[in-house]
């Protein structure tokens, strides 16, 4: 008892997790994973080391008695001082369950995007967490922290702006500069642009309050936040940006399209009205194709936008693009019946305008075969270009014809190239199957050669009548009783030939490694012919031996076997020879086609590829 009590005392000193524990209540307070469990029996059932602990064993002494590692220590307690080091290791093992419990993935895990803690807090709108992180950082560390980008190039400010957390954005703006606020992600959007895309008005208000110059930022295609918001149809954001700087209406993208072009094409009526109210002259702005916003509007299906664009100045419908097409031409080309009605209802419309191709809207409608538009235009008084006293320019018609022919030829060439690519892919797959078939043929030939060699070798030593066991006159010991029989002599010759031919095939197969396809085909050709001979010789050996076995009285059985064997073998070998000759003729024909193919003729090369598919890579052929 004294030893055990001293052991307990030293144990409690070495094990910090048990220091000062006098009863089970303190044990449960130290054990975090066991909090909230009123019954200690449930606690003991959850951890394997507590199995078997009774209510009386609530002290640390009882726990150490039940734990397997402490039973081992008690048994070896006599050497306690010598084994003090190992005892410390044993005492550290129970620490794994103290404060443990099931490990859960922390909320600050970076995840697939590589987000930092401030990224995650900003993305979820956790303002208190963001404030805590910012307060714990200072100076250069704070600047680096706010400029940190994840795998998608997103800064913490970007994450907050994208998800519309205005409070988090406002807090970050207290510590951030314009350069960091303008950092763009890999998708090309900076925090201001992505907020405009998502329609987060509060976030944009906060950003503009601190950095008003952000309204003029553009991406690589010269797209402003106003373009982005107009594309998505966020009218509130558009109005906010226009109030900040009305000059945004005049900024065009790299393709020459203004915000009005974009809003008109996307069908956002309210945005079109707002833009025209700020600057009505933008309706005459053209892009690199020479098209106005009206040209873009008639491609859509909202005639209200068409009328709205005509309100400031209806002469905009006379503006021609680079190909001489007016808005009416474009509406007919796109088959927009409602927009054609809308344009025809406007006073002063030029219904017979002729583009650079010498076509009126009626010519285009008839060319496209849209009968509904043809009837509408004719009712409105439209006519063909030849009826207007301005026949199509012959030079322009010739140019158009040449262009159409060129387009058709390019189309045909593209289709031919695609066909050639598909044919070559199929040929490649068939080549793999062809090589696999050759390998199978070689392996099968090896197996058959070994089998014939085994049979031929065994047959010579298992002849009918057995052998001479005692020396007699005219016969040596071990000599076959039928050795002087002519039929046996024939058997011996053919059996030997079959044996050695088969062994030769085995030697060749195990010694030569062939990589190139043509050489592999030649090897298979030679091996197959040798195996034909081996099969013929082993058949002849069998037939000759039947004359010895059946005897003179049943000689007809041997003759029957001879006739049947010869017919079957000759028919088989003859058929194989016919297949080989046929395949050789087809290959010769294919070679002649390739010789006649002139270099540079793509159609002939495709034809030869088709010949390859039809001739060289057949499903079955003989070598």
pLDDT digits (tens, 9 = 90+) for 182-214: 999 988 899 999 999 999 999 999 999 999 999
In the prediction, which pLDDT does 396 show? 67
Which whole number is the average pLDDT over 542-559? 82
In the prediction, which pLDDT does 106 show? 45
Which whole number is the average pLDDT over 78-86? 46
Contacts (Cβ under 8 Å, ≥6 apart) of 125: 160, 163, 165, 167, 168
In the prediction, which pLDDT does 558 show? 82
In the prediction, which pLDDT does 56 show? 40
Residue 590 near residue 611 (C-beta atoms within 8 A): yes
Contacts (Cβ under 8 Å, ≥6 apart) of 423: 606, 609, 610, 613
Q: Of 468 and 564, which is predicted with more confidence?
A: 564
% of the chain residues with pLDDT over 70:
72
In the prediction, which pLDDT does 480 show? 63
Q: pTM of the full predicted structure?
A: 0.50
The count of other CB atoms within 10 Å of the CB of residue 83 is 15
Q: What is the pLDDT of residues 22-45, one digit of tens each?
A: 344 443 333 333 333 344 334 334
CB-side exposure of 596: number of CA atoms within 13 Å? 10
CA distances in angstroms from 128 to 111, 121, 135, 167, 568, listed in the order given: 21, 9, 10, 10, 94
Q: Give the separation between CA 173 and CA 178, rounded to whole angstroms.
A: 9
Q: Is residue 299 pLDDT above 50, yes or no? A: yes
> Token pair 């030893």 is at which residue?
3
In the prediction, which pLDDT does 43 show? 35
In the prediction, which pLDDT does 446 show? 86
Q: Would you place residue 595 in the very low, low, confident or very high pLDDT band (cuts 50, 70, 90)?
A: confident
Which of 136-150, 253-267, 345-359, 584-598 is predicted with the least confidence, judged by mean pLDDT?
A: 584-598
The alpha carbons of the chain give a radius of gyration, in whole angstroms, of 48
Q: Is residue 141 pLDDT above 70, yes or no? A: yes
Q: Of 70 and 168, which is predicted with more confidence?
A: 168
* Neighbour-count burial of 63, counting CB atoms closer than 10 A to its CB (0-12 exposed, 13-18 middle, 19+ buried): buried
Q: Is residue 482 pLDDT above 90, yes or no? A: no
Q: Give the separation between CA 299 and CA 264, rounded to whole angstroms.
A: 9
Which of 103-107, 132-136, 595-599 is predicted with the least confidence, judged by mean pLDDT?
A: 103-107
Residue 356 near residue 396 (C-beta atoms within 8 A): yes
CA neighbor of 188 nearest in space, from 152, 216, 156, 164: 152
Q: Which two tokens stand for residue 147?
A: 């400029």
Which of 56-65, 289-298, 324-333 is predicted with the least confidence, judged by mean pLDDT?
A: 56-65
In the prediction, which pLDDT does 31 show? 39
Which whole number is the average pLDDT over 485-496? 83
Listed in sequence order, the DSSP H helices in 369-393 are 371-379
Q: What is the pLDDT of residues 426-475, one digit of tens each?
A: 888 888 887 888 888 888 888 988 988 888 888 877 766 565 556 666 66
Q: Give the separation between CA 481 and CA 491, rounded to whole angstroms.
A: 14
In the prediction, which pLDDT does 37 show? 38
In the prediction, which pLDDT does 586 show? 81
List the domain boundaries for the chain. 2-96, 114-215, 415-467+478-616
Instruction: Classify domain 114-215 at the CATH superfamily level.
Output: Ankyrin repeat-containing domain (1.25.40.20)
Q: Is residue 126 pLDDT above 60, yes or no? A: yes
Which whole number is the average pLDDT over 516-536? 85
């Amino acid at each position: 008892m004294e030893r055990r009590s001293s052991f307990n005392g030293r144990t409690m000193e070495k094990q910090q997790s048990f220091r000062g524990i006098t009863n089970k209540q303190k044990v449960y307070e130290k054990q975090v994973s066991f909090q909230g469990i009123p019954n200690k029996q449930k606690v003991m059932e959850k951890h394997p080391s507590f199995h078997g602990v009774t209510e009386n064993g609530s002290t640390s002494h009882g726990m150490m008695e039940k734990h397997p590692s402490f039973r081992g220590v008690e048994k070896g307690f006599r050497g306690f001082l010598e084994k003090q080091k190992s005892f410390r290791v044993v005492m550290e093992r129970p620490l794994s369950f103290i404060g443990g419990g099931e490990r859960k993935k922390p909320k600050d895990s970076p995840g697939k995007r590589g987000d930092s803690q401030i990224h995650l807090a900003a993305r979820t709108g956790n303002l208190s967490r963001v404030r805590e992180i910012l307060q714990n950082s200072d100076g250069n560390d704070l600047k680096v922290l706010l400029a940190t980008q994840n795998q998608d190039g997103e800064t913490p400010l970007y994450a907050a702006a994208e998800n519309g957390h205005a409070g988090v954005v406002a807090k970050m703006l207290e510590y951030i500069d314009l350069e960091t606020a303008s950092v763009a992600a890999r998708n090309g959007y900076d925090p201001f642009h992505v907020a405009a895309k998502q329609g987060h008005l509060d976030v944009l208000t906060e950003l503009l309050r601190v950095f008003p110059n952000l309204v003029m930022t553009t991406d690589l295609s010269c797209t402003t936040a106003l373009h982005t918001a107009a594309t998505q149809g966020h009218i509130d954001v558009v109005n906010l940006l226009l109030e900040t700087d009305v000059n945004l209406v005049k900024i065009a993208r790299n393709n020459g399209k203004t915000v009005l072009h974009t809003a008109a094409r996307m069908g956002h009526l309210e945005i079109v009205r707002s833009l025209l109210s700020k600057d009505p002259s933008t309706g005459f702005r053209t892009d690199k194709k020479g098209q106005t916003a009206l040209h873009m509007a008639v491609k859509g299906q909202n005639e209200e936008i068409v009328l709205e664009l005509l309100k400031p100045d209806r002469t905009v419908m006379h503006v021609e693009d680079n190909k001489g097409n007016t808005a009416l031409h474009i509406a007919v080309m796109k088959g927009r019946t409602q927009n054609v009605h809308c344009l025809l209802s406007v006073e002063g419309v030029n219904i017979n305008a002729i583009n650079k191709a010498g076509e009126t809207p009626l010519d285009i409608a008839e060319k496209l075969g849209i009968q509904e538009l043809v009837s509408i235009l004719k009712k409105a008084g439209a006519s063909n270009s030849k009826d207007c006293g301005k026949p199509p320019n012959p030079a322009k018609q010739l140019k158009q014809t040449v262009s159409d022919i060129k387009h058709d030829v390019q189309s045909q060439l593209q289709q031919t190239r695609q066909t050639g690519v598909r044919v070559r892919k199929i040929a490649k797959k068939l080549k793999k199957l062809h090589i696999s078939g050759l390998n199978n043929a070689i392996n099968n030939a090896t197996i058959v050669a070994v089998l014939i060699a085994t049979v031929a070798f065994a047959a010579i030593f298992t002849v009918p009548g057995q052998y001479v066991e005692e020396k007699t006159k005219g016969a040596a010991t071990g000599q076959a009783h039928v050795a002087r029989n002519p039929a046996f002599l024939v058997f011996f010759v053919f059996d030997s030939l079959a044996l050695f031919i088969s062994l030769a095939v085995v030697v060749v197969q195990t010694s030569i490694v062939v990589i190139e396809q043509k050489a592999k085909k030649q090897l298979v050709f030679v091996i197959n012919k040798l195996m034909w001979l081996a099969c013929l010789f082993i058949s002849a050996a069998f037939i000759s031996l039947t004359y010895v076995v059946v005897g003179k009285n049943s000689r007809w059985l041997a003759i029957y076997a001879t006739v049947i064997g010869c017919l079957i073998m000759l028919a088989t070998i003859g058929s194989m020879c016919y297949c080989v000759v046929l395949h050789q003729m087809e290959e010769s024909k294919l070679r002649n086609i390739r010789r006649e193919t002139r270099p540079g003729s793509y159609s002939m090369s495709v034809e030869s590829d088709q010949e390859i598919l039809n001739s060289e890579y057949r499903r079955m052929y003989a070598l």
